[in-house]
Amino acid sequence: MLTGVDLEDGVEDSYFDYCPWDFGPKASAAQRVAQSTHQERLAETGASLGPRCYVSPAAAVFTDVLCLGADSYIAGYAYVTGKVRAGSDCSVNPYATVRGRVTLGDGVRIGAHASLLGFNHGFAPDEPVHRQPLTSEGIVVGDDVWIGSNVVVLDGVTIGDHCVVGAGAVVTKDLAPWTIAAGNPARPLRDRRGRGGSGTAGPESQLGDAVAEFAERAQAQAADVLARGWSDDTGRYSDRPGVPATVRAHCDAVEIADLLLGAPPKQLTATEHTERLRELQDPVSGLVPELAAGGGPGTLPAPARDGWIEDGTAEYHVLSVGYALELLGSRFAHPVHVVERMTARQLVARLEELPWRTRAWSAGAWVDCWATGAHRNRDVAGESSGGSGALEALFGWLATRVDPWTGMWGAAPSPTEGRLQLVNGYYRLARGSYAQFGIPVPYPERVVDTVLAHASDQRWFAAGRQNACNVLDVAHPLWLAGRQTRHREGEVRAWASEQLTSALGRWRDGAGFGFGPAGEGGSGPGREPGLQGTEMWLAIIWLLADLVGVSDRLGYRPRGVHRPEPARSPMFAVP
């Protein structure tokens, strides 16, 4: 029998801990006063509760942010911490756990003993687990969602509108709207509207089948693709046969092998791959120049007046080599000194000088390199790089220079290129800064508007004209902004479906993907299949599949340069 204080209507206080939905019709006047007092105490800590809400005094609510819409409740013995925002008519049932950064839509039901864990921490071998840094991508749950008892939802997951998650499931990947999912790990079973199940096959189900068939084909041929780029004579990787060996080709090989095989390329051992890449870093600047003609470490030009070295290839190697080493379980041998030595004042001066109005892509690429160097320096030195306040200065400058009409940085569309420079520059900038450090992008709805307008430009996206750079630079911003808004979601999904169908047909057996048409959309290795095109299109296909809601059928998730998760926890979170 439940224990508690027996009030005049015969319903004990503890009854509502387990049946909070009855508080409205059954609570006594005294119980209503007690609940109001309890909510006032929560409000003093910053909580915002809508009308007709109920929060059990027996619930452990220790939040930094708590927002509940009307008619929502938290039952007894629930454990709620972090930054939790819920719409109207939401329920957190007894013994459920909601922690970290969690956002719920309207009409969400969280069953008893379920856990939504909107945070995580590392488990690298160099530190005890209890000293590992916390990360938080957050969990987003749409409208009209039922999360069954004993379900576990992990950090970084988005559950779309109208989903049902069966009891005991462990949700590790996003679920598309209307999905019924179950299992450990949770997998889509069918569509609530009857699509793709019981003998029917809707468009998403058919596309999911095509994605799964492609993944099986690519994984079976991955070893041949990697061997095609390897030269026994030089002991190096080239993008494709007949072209010189490059640093990027080696990094692309590591990323492809990680995606499709879950192991380093078999041409070298993991230790040999690591040593080959680490020895290429210039110890003075911390950059990685292109290979010399004989295949050994290259050289860099003289530094500019602020100490920076102008070399676009070496700048990109901060990304490609750094992430390849991370996939191999290693890191740079030296800090990226050109970033480490740059003060906040020097950084702002260089940002002001970048060619935002004429070459927004180049400006965005520079920001990507600098921010990635700052990220890598934390790996090496364990502290902020670039001088006191330099990284904060970067985000401060970006926040005050973003165009609220486009959500981007750079010039207006041009007659010759349209929005190409603007959108492609945004991808590089946002990848290295906001995405890499787990910080929400400003004006996400305007980003979606700008990117969709660009994606309709037939000069770059008509059939046969797409290249990997241009499609990636649309898919990633739509995916990134889509983590914050469902603005024009149907149009985004339609564009992604069209591009995904087209991309799956570009695979060449035993050779992989070509980058795309040379001379139509900028530089790149062209149509011939190679390691760069293969690495980029594999990541693009994941992004497109995730926008459509079928990425779980691929069986892989990028972990390198094009990883969807932040590489670091948000920089400015309060410890």
Q: What are 255's two structure tokens?
A: 């990323």
Q: What are 542's two structure tokens?
A: 């994941």
Q: Annotated catalytic residue: which of 38, 113, 121, 375?
A: 121
Cβ neighbours of residue 256 closer than 8 Å, sequence gap 6 or more = 222, 225, 226, 265, 512, 531, 534, 535, 538
Computed on alpha carbons and rounded to an integer, the radius of gyration of the chain in Å comes to 26
476 is annotated as an active-site residue: no
What's the helix, strand, coil split of the chain in %, to 5?
Answer: 40, 15, 45
Cα separation values, 313 from 165, 288, 368, 559, 562, Å: 46, 8, 13, 22, 18
Q: Which helix (H) or strand (E) holds 451?
A: helix 444-455
Asked if residues 293 and 337 have their Cβ atoms less than 8 Å apart, the reply is no
3-state DSSP call for residue 222? Answer: helix
Asked if residues 229 and 247 have their Cβ atoms less than 8 Å apart, the reply is no
Q: From 48, 53, 57, 62, select the one nearest 76 (Cα to Cα).
A: 57
CA distance 58 to 49: 17
What angle, 0 to 180 degrees and rounded to 10, lies between the N-to-C axes of helices 489-504 and 444-455? 40
CA distance 300 to 336: 14
Show which residues are catalytic. 121
